[in-house]
């Protein structure tokens, strides 16, 4: 009997582990930024990967106390953030990568809603829409020479008015900036 219980337990744990590694590339709102490992040489590196199963758990936990946030979370499939220090050496490579991402997103019919450029920094924010009122992907690509780079991808049904609350809930400062950028455009 104990063997059966252990086998069932092992099966459930392994099923849960395999379920956590979803293939998000099939979603139109997903973008593969590539590998940043070689560029993450500084002391400050942040990687956030919140997949659908964890987002659903938080949505259930907030259903009574914050129903609006819970509803927002139920539509999200993935939150991916890469943030790290930029050096003189990595700046040019990151600039090239951001230009490649820009070209790919524009070719895939994403809308660039924010574009900021100067000699030593740039930031772009893109959305992928499924209809006039439905956003299914959000990308932020931001690089500041001798500062910080941030690459953010949110996949799923997205409401920009409340996206900052997602950043607060998971302590992701880059998402607060998206909300603030949208507010300043009004």
Q: How far apart are CA 30 and CA 104, in angstroms?
A: 12
State the average pLDDT over residues 99-118.
Answer: 94
How confident is the model over 20-35, as pLDDT tens digits? 567 888 888 999 988 7
- CA angle at residue 22 from 19 to 23, to 5 degrees? 145
The reply to whether 15 falls in a domain is no
- Decide if pLDDT at 18 tops 70: no
Rounded to the nearest 10 degrees, what angle do helices 163-170 and 52-62 cross at?
100
The reply to whether 31 falls in a domain is yes
Helix (H, G, I), strand (E, B), or coil: what is residue 50? strand
Q: Are 149 and 128 in contact (CB under 8 A)?
A: no
The reply to whether 6 falls in a domain is no
Enumerate residues 6+ apart whose C-beta is below 8 A from 158: 29, 75, 76, 127, 135, 136, 137, 138
Mean pLDDT, all residues of the chain: 79
The reply to whether 161 falls in a domain is yes
Domain interval for residue 84: 22-185
Strands 76-85 and 148-158, sheet pairing: antiparallel
Number of domains in the chain: 1
Greatest C-alpha distance within the chain: 69
| pLDDT value for 172 | 63
pTM for this prediction: 0.75
The reply to whether 17 falls in a domain is no
């Amino acid at each position: 009997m104990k063997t059966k219980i252990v086998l069932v337990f092992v099966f459930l744990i392994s099923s849960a582990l395999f379920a956590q590694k979803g293939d998000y590339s099939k979603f139109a709102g997903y973008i593969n930024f590539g590998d940043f490992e070689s560029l993450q040489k500084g002391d400050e590196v942040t990687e956030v990967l919140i997949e659908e199963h964890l987002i659903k758990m938080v949505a259930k936990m907030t259903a009574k106390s914050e129903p609006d946030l819970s509803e927002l979370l139920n539509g999200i499939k993935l939150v991916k953030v890469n943030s790290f220090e930029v050096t003189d050496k990595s700046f040019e490579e990151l600039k090239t990568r951001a230009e490649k991402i820009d070209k790919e997103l524009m070719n895939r019919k994403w809308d660039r809603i924010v574009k900021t450029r100067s000699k030593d920094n740039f930031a772009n924010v893109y959305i992928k829409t499924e209809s006039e009122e439905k956003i299914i992907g959000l990308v932020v690509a931001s690089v500041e020479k001798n500062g910080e780079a941030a690459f953010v991808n949110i996949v799923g049904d997205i409401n920009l008015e409340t996206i900052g609350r997602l950043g607060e809930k998971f302590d992701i400062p880059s998402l607060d900036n998206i909300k603030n950028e949208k507010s300043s455009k009004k």
